[in-house]
């Protein structure tokens, strides 16, 4: 479906639109793909790794230059005899007190001033009392930035405020089970994680936990995400549910949902661990394994080994090898999810072992090459990224939905994979400013929920990495020094039979 949309968009510029652009002097989009990075060989990746590990070349030593001697400063006025006597008496008194305290066995040093109390780890902002309807509270967690924090400049402080305000505005716009499909609800909680709430039965319904509702077989627009067949737990695939294999589990992973979180389907009790086991069995060479890589790299130890349903032996490194050989262009959402998966697989490996080798080293170089490619070849003047993904530079300036779709996805991958210091480069900041400005300008717009979820997720990742603030459940995938992930939280299910009776 993505390929059809992109082809239609390209054809739209080949007729009257192309003539109009020529008449108005607009820059026309190229018809051919521009050269893009290719997967490196093992030797190329190894050379790049060795080059990156080399210490910086020291600057040539220079003979020290002696600074010109400064004449001693001459006081404007010598102290009087009386001033000298008073100063000497003060020094003597202080010295005698220090000596007396040193030999006094009962001396107790004065207590230092207490440090100011640390801010609470979790902050809950309740809805306004004057609100006419029940709105979900805003839940945020204060952590340390994932590395060097953002510079304390007016530009970054303004960006920080705008991100906070924009995320708060959208967090208070819950979806509902009558109008939104499981796929849409899933993209609602990728941005805000475990605290995400939805309304049961319609826009005025009671608020319940979105992940808990999905994990108990709650219906959304008449559909359910999960199904049970005997002892097997599966996530359904098709229109309105999963668009890709393992997509639901990958989003649970990105929300830091614990493997022991309960799942209740058709009166049968499961946990997320059962879904992990099912996705391990479903791995198949030559197929799309993007979301399986994200999910299994998150939940499994780095040295995990297993066999799929067809008897093939698998490891996480084999998943990485399979994904490297798959194309970026033409992949779902322009290939951004594939790049995100490769980056996240490398980061989990780096955290576990402290080094990258083999397929991980190749994947790391491949992702870094694409980072440079996106930032140097595909960014528009307003900070957005190409509306033709990684094909060539393009800017459908009259289609804000398309710009949010491509920029949100590309920025989500970039801020989740760039080294910490690169987050503050002008091009990355410009893309973040474009995204937050566009979303803040029209908070009531009927955005397409898939692109919106990934755009908001990009902002939550940037917020966590730059300032250490994260909406509980948000996940940041990042390169460089790894921080310990917060303890995974259990997604609780709504209580009471009244909630189950409202499924529709």
Q: What is the pLDDT of residue 375?
A: 98
Task: Give the Cα separation of 259 and 273 in Å (integer).
Answer: 5
* Mean pLDDT along residues 348-355: 93
* Mean pLDDT along residues 75-99: 55
Tokens of 54: 């080399």
Contact 272, 211 (CB under 8 A): no
Whether 90 is covered by a domain: the verdict is no
Q: Is the pLDDT of residue 479 over 70?
A: no
- Starting at the edge strand that comes first in sequence, how are the strands of the sheet with 138-142 ordered? 122-125, 138-142, 469-471
Q: What is the pLDDT of residue 459?
A: 96
198's enclosing H/E stretch is strand 197-199
Q: Which residue has the higher pLDDT, 6 or 469?
A: 469
Q: Which residue has the higher pLDDT, 437 or 25?
A: 437
Task: Give the Cα separation of 334 and 5 in Å (integer).
Answer: 11
Q: How many C-alpha atoms does 66 have within 13 Å on its Cβ side? A: 3
Whether 414 is covered by a domain: the verdict is yes
Least confident of 91-105, 114-128, 199-213, 333-347: 114-128
Whether 13 is covered by a domain: the verdict is no
Least confident of 64-68, 91-95, 347-351: 64-68
* Mean pLDDT along residues 324-328: 96
Q: Is the pLDDT of residue 238 over 60?
A: yes
Q: In Å, what is the CA distance from 25 to each residue of 20, 28, 55, 384?
A: 8, 9, 49, 21
Q: What is the pLDDT of residue 324?
A: 97
> Given pLDDT bands bounded at 50, 70 and 90, which one contains residue 202?
very high
- C-alpha torsion angle, residues 262, 352, 235, 310 (rounded to 10): -120
Whether 20 is covered by a domain: the verdict is no
Q: What is the pLDDT of residue 453?
A: 97
Whether 278 is covered by a domain: the verdict is yes
Contact 214, 274 (CB under 8 A): no
Contacts of 124 (CB under 8 A, 6+ apart): 137, 138, 139, 140
Contact 465, 146 (CB under 8 A): yes
* Mean pLDDT along residues 312-339: 97
> Given pLDDT bands bounded at 50, 70 and 90, which one contains residue 71?
very low
3-state secondary structure of 18: helix
The sign one gets for the Cα dihedral 4, 5, 10, 12 is positive
Task: Give the Cα separation of 77 and 363 in Å (integer).
Answer: 72
167's enclosing H/E stretch is helix 154-171
> Given pLDDT bands bounded at 50, 70 and 90, which one contains residue 138?
low
Q: Is the pLDDT of residue 485 over 70?
A: no
Q: What is the pLDDT of residue 59?
A: 44
Q: Is the pLDDT of residue 34 over 60?
A: yes
* Mean pLDDT along residues 73-98: 54
Q: Is the pLDDT of residue 81 over 70?
A: no
State the total domains in the chain: 1
Task: Give the Cα separation of 211 and 209 in Å (integer).
Answer: 6
Tokens of 244: 């890709």
Q: Where do the H-state alpha helices sit in 287-388?
A: 290-299, 316-324, 336-353, 358-377
Phi, psi of 90 (to 5 degrees): -65, -45
Q: What is the pLDDT of residue 46?
A: 85
Q: Is the pLDDT of residue 474 over 70?
A: no
Task: Give the Cα separation of 306 and 317 in Å (integer).
Answer: 12
The three-state (H, E, C) secondary structure of 71-134, written as one string? CCCCCCCCCCHHHHHHHHHHHHHHHHHHHHHHHCCCCCCCCCCCCCCCCCCEEEECCCCCCCCC
> Given pLDDT bands bounded at 50, 70 and 90, which one contains residue 87?
low
pLDDT in tens, 363-408: 999 999 999 999 999 999 999 999 999 999 999 999 999 999 999 9
Q: In Å, what is the CA distance from 362 to each residue of 221, 345, 349, 478?
A: 43, 12, 13, 17
> Given pLDDT bands bounded at 50, 70 and 90, which one contains residue 440?
very high
Percent of the chain whose pLDDT exceeds 90: 62
Whether 30 is covered by a domain: the verdict is no
* Mean pLDDT along residues 93-108: 56
Contact 438, 445 (CB under 8 A): no
Q: What is the pLDDT of residue 35?
A: 94
Q: What is the pLDDT of residue 70?
A: 44
Contact 348, 303 (CB under 8 A): no
pLDDT in tens, 240-256: 999 999 999 999 999 98
* Mean pLDDT along residues 445-464: 95
Q: What is the pLDDT of residue 47?
A: 85
Domain that holds residue 397: 118-501
Q: Is the pLDDT of residue 64 over 60?
A: no
* Mean pLDDT along residues 36-46: 91
Q: Which of 424, 327, 331 is nearest to 375 (CA)?
A: 424
Contacts of 317 (CB under 8 A, 6+ apart): 358, 359, 360
> Given pLDDT bands bounded at 50, 70 and 90, which one contains residue 12?
very low
Look over the chain and give the mean of its residue pLDDT values, rounded to a whole number: 80
Whether 483 is covered by a domain: the verdict is yes
Contact 429, 442 (CB under 8 A): no
Whether 431 is covered by a domain: the verdict is yes
Task: Give the Cα separation of 410 and 451 in Å (integer).
Answer: 11
Q: Which residue has the higher pLDDT, 215 or 95?
A: 215
Task: Give the Cα separation of 90 and 390 in Å (integer).
Answer: 75
Percent of the chain whose pLDDT exceeds 70: 68
The three-state (H, E, C) secondary structure of 31-84, written as one string? CCCCCCCCCCCHHHHHHHHHHHHCCCCCCCCCCCCCCCCCCCCCCCCCCCHHHH
Phi, psi of 135 (to 5 degrees): -125, 150
If 0-12 CB within 10 Å is exposed, 13-18 middle and 19+ buried, where does residue 90 land? Answer: exposed
* Mean pLDDT along residues 83-96: 57
Q: What is the pLDDT of residue 48?
A: 80
Q: Which residue has the tokens 């607009």?
A: 26
Q: What is the pLDDT of residue 3?
A: 39
3-state secondary structure of 306: strand
Q: Is the pLDDT of residue 56 over 80?
A: no
Q: What is the pLDDT of residue 62?
A: 43
């Amino acid at each position: 479906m993505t390929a059809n949309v992109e082809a239609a968009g390209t054809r739209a510029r080949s007729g009257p639109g192309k003539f109009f652009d020529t008449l108005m002097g607009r820059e026309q989009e190229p018809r051919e793909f521009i050269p893009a990075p290719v997967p490196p060989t093992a030797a190329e990746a190894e050379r790049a790794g060795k080059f990156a590990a080399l210490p910086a070349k020291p600057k040539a030593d220079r003979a020290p230059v002696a600074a010109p001697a400064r004449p001693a400063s001459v006081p404007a006025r010598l102290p009087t005899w009386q001033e000298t006597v008073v100063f000497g008496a003060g020094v003597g008194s202080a010295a005698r007190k220090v000596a007396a305290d040193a030999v006094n066995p009962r001396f107790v040093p004065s207590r230092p001033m207490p440090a100011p109390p640390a801010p609470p780890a979790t902050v809950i902002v309740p809805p306004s009392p004057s609100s006419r309807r029940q709105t979900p509270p805003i839940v945020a967690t204060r952590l340390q930035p994932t590395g060097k924090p953002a510079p304390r400049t007016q530009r970054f402080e303004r960006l920080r405020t705008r991100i906070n305000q924009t995320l708060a505005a959208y967090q208070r716009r819950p979806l509902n089970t009558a109008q939104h499909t499981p796929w849409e609800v899933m993209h609602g909680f990728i941005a805000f994680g475990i605290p995400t709430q939805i309304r049961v039965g319609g826009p005025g319904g009671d608020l319940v936990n979105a992940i808990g509702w999905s994990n108990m077989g709650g219906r959304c627009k008449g559909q359910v995400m999960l199904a049970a067949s005997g002892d097997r737990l599966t996530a359904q695939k098709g229109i309105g549910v999963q668009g890709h294999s393992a997509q639901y589990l990958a989003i649970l992973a990105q929300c830091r949902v614990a493997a022991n979180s309960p799942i209740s389907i058709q009166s049968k009790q499961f946990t997320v661990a059962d879904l992990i086991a099912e996705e391990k069995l479903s791995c198949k060479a030559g197929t799309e394994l993007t979301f399986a890589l994200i999910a299994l790299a998150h939940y499994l130890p780095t040295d995990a080994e297993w066999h799929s349903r067809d008897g093939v032996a698998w490891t996480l490194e084999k998943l990485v090898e399979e994904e490297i050989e798959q194309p970026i262009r033409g992949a779902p959402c322009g290939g951004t999810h594939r790049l995100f998966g490769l980056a996240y697989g490398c980061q989990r490996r780096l955290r576990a072992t402290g080094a990258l080798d083999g397929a991980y080293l190749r994947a790391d170089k491949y992702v870094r090459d694409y980072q440079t490619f996106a930032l140097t070849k595909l960014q528009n003047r307003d900070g957005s990224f190409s509306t033709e993904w990684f094909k060539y530079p393009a800017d459908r300036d009259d289609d804000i939905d398309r710009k949010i779709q491509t920029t949100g996805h590309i920025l989500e991958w970039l801020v989740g994979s760039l080294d910490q210091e690169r987050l503050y480069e002008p091009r990355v900041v410009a893309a973040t400013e474009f995204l937050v400005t566009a979303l803040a300008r029209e908070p009531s717009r009927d955005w397409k929920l898939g692109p919106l979820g990934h755009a908001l997720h990009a902002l939550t990742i940037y917020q966590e990495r730059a300032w250490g603030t994260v909406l509980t459940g948000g996940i940041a995938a990042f390169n460089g020094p790894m921080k310990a992930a917060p303890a995974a939280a259990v997604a609780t299910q709504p209580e009471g039979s009244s909630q189950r009776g409202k499924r529709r």
